[in-house]
Structure 1
Amino acid sequence: MTKLNAFVAALGLIAPTSALLRFGCARLTVQRLDPLVNPGMIPSTHLHQIIGGNSFNATMDPKTHDLASLSTCTSCQFTEDFSNYWTAVLYFRARNGTFKRVPQRAQAGMEGTQGGMVVYYMSDALFDTAQKSTVTAFKPGFRMLVGDVEYHNREQARNFRQLTFTCMQNEGTRAPEYLHFPTEPCPAGIMANHRFPTCWDGVNLDSPNHRDHVAYPESGTFESGGPCPTTHPVRLPQLLLETVWDTKQFNNKADWPEDGSQPFVWSSGDSTGYSTHADYLFGWQSDSLQKHLDGHTYVSAPTLNTQSISQQNKCTVPDVVNEDFDSWLTELPGSPVMF
């Protein structure tokens, strides 16, 4: 994405003919739970920040757990969206080796949101406002994972397109994007961008590694109109998660490692950034997402119902893992191996 298009997208000024649903979600919970990769494990291997429907729990068996019917509230703006979305949590590692969780901050226009992320569903390429493409909304029971917690170098990270970081100079900064953690202090925070694959095999709602049933375009990207491979012919909306980690209080280089290396680390133990990953469990009510996507509208969502930020903030789930993750810690929750 060019700097101009990225900046315009950030401010919500794309022409109405380009279909894009953008909305904020408050924090549902921060816990060591992962029903996709570590189902039933309490606690899971590392800490996550989770948004969406309040039926979220450690198990969520795809055969019996219907998010839309079992959730009674959602931390997202649109009340039809009971999906769950989650990523690892960012920590600051001080010069003395202790760790402090980095808080998340709301983007402009969403002030007051507690933690959380901004979610995008795109049905048209942003660069071609005349395009009226057709995408198929995710189906009930659909799940996927993007990224790999074991990755630790640039070549491995190339397997996942557009999993990036932005060193925000101000609220409108959306470029350049990096595959690794920024190496200099970021005045307005670090944005983590998680773009999911946009092609589906049309059959499987999940796969053993939660990735094989989806694929990236055969060439280019979703935004450039790249075609889907024949193995995954069904075109999905582009799902994008933006998380702004409020790193301002950690920008004093005197507190950074003595060798001058960047001080941030994922809760999984990764200090490179290459292991960045995100999980998605679809949970939209009935055909509400498909109806919106078919309407080719931007920002306005006439077929969806909106709730206030205060209502979003009230939707939470109880802690089931009793551990301290917010104090200054001598090791990360779960003591993952650092790399």
Structure 2
Amino acid sequence: MGRNDRKRRTPMATKAIAASAALALGGAGLLWAQMNASAHESNSSGQNTTKAAAASAVATIACPDVGQQLTNVPQKARQGVATELANLDKQITEAYARLASTRQAQANDASFVQNAIVGPLKEKRAATIDRIRIDIQRVGGSVNAAALAQLAACTTQTANNTTAGGQNNNGGQNNGGQNNNGGQNNGNTAAPSASASAPAANNGGQAGNGPTAADFVDITKVANNVQAKPQKQAQASTGSFTTRCGVNANKNHNTDNVIVAPGVTNGAHHEHDYVGNQKVNAFSTNDSLLAAPSSCQNQSDLSAYYWPVVRVQDGSQEFDANALGGGKEGNVGKILTPQSAQIKYVGSPASKVVAMPQFLRIITGDAKTLTNGLANANAHWSCTGFENKVQLTEQYPICPQGSNVVRTFAFQSCWDGVNIDSANHRTHVAFADPASGVCGNGFKAIPQLTMRLVYKITPPTIQNGVVKNAYAVDGFPEQLHKASTDHDDFISVTKNNLAATIANCINTGKKC
């Protein structure tokens, strides 16, 4: 697979990774369609509610994530390959839209999905994947053409036969602990049997693609799952550096992703919040990032910090209700601005850190966990007052009165010492060993970027399997707004020797 996350796995997490690896080779991108029942209906109070669909009325389409297989793309071919990968995402999004809008035709014709959606999608993907092959070989790169061609085919499945979410645990955290979600069904896992209830079939959501009641859990009913941190060794770097960059109160949003899809408008298919660098879009260059203004108090920090927005699905409409990346792609509801956004760099429990290289790019988490499984999931959801006890990966928390939703990220803290990016945007960085904090395979410890976002959200309520006033993170429409798809993006851009200042502060044990 070429993944380089270097996290210690529990037996349960290991099974999930094995399943996701097998799926990635055989086709595992899930596109769900709610074929019966309305996407939403309003009760007498005007609040939005989400309806469940029967398991037999839900179809899935499985497509491999091609980008994660491309770990060795020559630099000269990367722009062309990135453009074609964005085309694959667009094709899946369009197929999902067709799947969701042809419910009656699917009910009338059992072969409709295969003939009208899956078959044409395979043809489009085959042509696009072949262009990827050509781009790589044109500049002297090597590729297994036969293996790459096999990634074109998509398959159909019923909800009861899906295995996309991996195991039913809320792990995937960097400490490697086994984080059981207290026995709640997250809606991502395979249904236990055809006769059992199947919350995975509940597409729900105002736009019909989630979230569902099964995507939420009362945090007071979840067993504690946060594991102890590694013990600090003699050479530990114990300091920290906090940069204050605001909460995106100026509503700087777009649906691009310059790391994954440079030069492609709407390459993310969902909205991002931006703090730090204020001129980040699909067409940003290193030079333009250096020349841009920053929202950070320290004007030497021009780094780009961006993450998918969180919305509350209360029936209200946002500015992008009729736009790509917004309502047209299943991202609906009011965008919530965090109450606070803490951005802090911390050290290593095992060693000193080296300064981050200029223009280093890091993505943490995985926007396509329904496609890829949980191997690279790094979502952390909790509530104030519970953060040291419970962290959720596969469900959103319902917080008790007086408690706010907390969304945190802990980025990869080991760097290969050479590359500022990699073909799949993962293999140039890695997580430290969760037990010791040591970076493996010659990787060097860098300041670990951590982020803590706090949101004031009226707790959703669930009655008879229906969720009212749900909230969810923006995402690709076929990923069903699952909590596990949360992710965060970062480009290190500094002036006036700030990167060295951050490393020195951390290495000398200061709080800066």
- Give the CA deviation at 1:124: 4.1
C-alpha change, 1:165 and 1:298, in structure 2 (3 Å) is: farther
Instruction: Report the counterpart of residue 103 of structure 1 in structure 2.
Output: 336
* Aligned partner of 2:381 among 162, 165, 183: 165
Is the CA contact 1:196–1:239 (under 8 Å) kept in the aligned structure 2? yes
- Measured against aligned partners, the alpha-carbon deviations of 1:221-273 in whole angstroms (never above 9, x if no partner) come to xxx6421111x52111111111222213xx252xx575145822221144321
After superposition, residues 1-339 of structure 1 pair within 5 angstroms as 18-26=238-246, 27=248, 29-44=252-267, 45-62=269-286, 65=287, 67-68=289-290, 70-71=291-292, 73-94=293-314, 99-107=332-340, 117-125=341-349, 133-152=351-370, 156-160=373-377, 162-169=378-385, 173-186=387-400, 187-217=402-432, 219-220=433-434, 225-230=436-441, 232-248=442-458, 251=459, 253=461, 259-261=465-467, 263-268=470-475, 269=477, 270-296=480-506, 300-301=511-512
Measure the CA separation in 2 of the matches of 1:252 and 1:276: 19
Q: Which has the higher helix share?
A: 2
TM-score, length basis structure 2? 0.45
3-state secondary structure, aligned to 1:152:
helix
Matched residue type, 1:80: S
Matched residue type, 1:159: N
- Give the CA deviation at 1:201: 1.0
- Give the CA deviation at 1:101: 2.4
Is the CA contact 1:192–1:244 (under 8 Å) kept in the aligned structure 2? yes
Is the CA contact 1:102–1:245 (under 8 Å) kept in the aligned structure 2? no
- Measured against aligned partners, the alpha-carbon deviations of 1:86-105 in whole angstroms (never above 9, x if no partner) come to 11111223489994224233
Is the CA contact 1:166–1:174 (under 8 Å) kept in the aligned structure 2? no
Measure the CA separation in 1 of the matches of 2:297 and 2:288: 20
C-alpha change, 1:101 and 1:181, in structure 2 (3 Å) is: farther
Matched residue type, 1:290: A
C-alpha change, 1:157 and 1:101, in structure 2 (3 Å) is: farther
Measure the CA separation in 1 of the matches of 2:496 and 2:245: 20
C-alpha change, 1:75 and 1:241, in structure 2 (3 Å) is: same
- Number of equivalenced pairs: 258
Gaps of at least 5 residues in structure 1 are 7-16, 108-116, 126-130, 302-339
C-alpha change, 1:104 and 1:257, in structure 2 (3 Å) is: farther
3-state secondary structure, aligned to 2:422:
coil
Matched residue type, 2:465: D
- Measured against aligned partners, the alpha-carbon deviations of 1:63-86 in whole angstroms (never above 9, x if no partner) come to xx3533x12x31123221100011
C-alpha change, 1:288 and 1:227, in structure 2 (3 Å) is: same
TM-score, length basis structure 1? 0.66
Measure the CA separation in 1 of the matches of 2:359 and 2:275: 17
C-alpha change, 1:236 and 1:66, in structure 2 (3 Å) is: farther
Is the CA contact 2:505–2:511 (under 8 Å) kept in the aligned structure 1? no
Greater relative contact order structure (CA < 8 Å, 6+ sep): 1
- Give the CA deviation at 1:289: 2.3
Is the CA contact 1:181–1:264 (under 8 Å) kept in the aligned structure 2? no
C-alpha change, 1:175 and 1:147, in structure 2 (3 Å) is: same
- Give the CA deviation at 1:216: 1.2
C-alpha change, 1:66 and 1:181, in structure 2 (3 Å) is: same
Measure the CA separation in 2 of the matches of 1:252 and 1:194: 23
C-alpha change, 1:298 and 1:260, in structure 2 (3 Å) is: farther
C-alpha change, 1:18 and 1:200, in structure 2 (3 Å) is: closer
- Give the CA deviation at 1:139: 1.0
C-alpha change, 1:151 and 1:165, in structure 2 (3 Å) is: same
